Amino acid sequence: MQVNLTREGDTLIAAISGELDHHTAAAMRQQIDTAALSCRCRVLRLDFSALTFMDSSGIGLIMGRYRLMQSMGGCVQLQGVSGRLERMIRLAGLDKLPIWNTQEGKE
C-alpha cells in the first residue's frame, strides 16, 4: 500500500496503489487526514487507478474522509474506480453520496 499525495490548486489528490485492507487502512487514513488538515483544500480526490485490492476497510476510509471534508466545508471525489470497486461502493450505499468525479462521467 502506498499513498502519493499531490496538490493541484484547491484539490488534494491521494493516489492509492497496492492493497487497501484492514492492515493498511489506518496508516493511509492518517497520511490523508494529516495532509487534508494541513492544506485545507476544498476537494479531496481519492484516485483508485492503481489499486489492486480493497476490502470493507476501504469503504470506511471513503466514509471517514467524506465526513472530514464535509466538516471542513469541502468534498470528496472518487477517480479511477474499477467496475468491481464501483459495485462494492454501490452495495455499501455510498452511491447516494455526491462523491463521483463528474469528469469521469459518474453521477
Name the domain count of the chain: 1
Q: What is the CATH number of the domain that holds 19?
A: 3.30.750.24
Say which residue the cell 489528490 belongs to: 13
Angle between helices 56-71 and 83-91 (to 10 degrees): 70
Q: How far, in Å, CA of 51 to CA of 53, rounded?
A: 6
Instruction: Tell me what pLDDT residue 35 has.
Output: 97
Q: pLDDT digit of tens for each residue in the chain (107 aa)? A: 699 999 999 999 999 999 999 999 999 999 999 999 999 999 999 999 999 999 999 999 999 999 999 999 999 999 999 999 999 999 999 989 999 865 654 44
Inter-residue contact 68 to 33 (CB < 8 Å): yes
Provide the domain limits for residue 55: 2-104
Q: How far, in Å, CA of 97 to CA of 107, rounded?
A: 10
Instruction: Tell me what pLDDT residue 100 has.
Output: 83
Cα angle, residue 41 at apex, residues 71 and 75 outer, rounded to 5°: 50
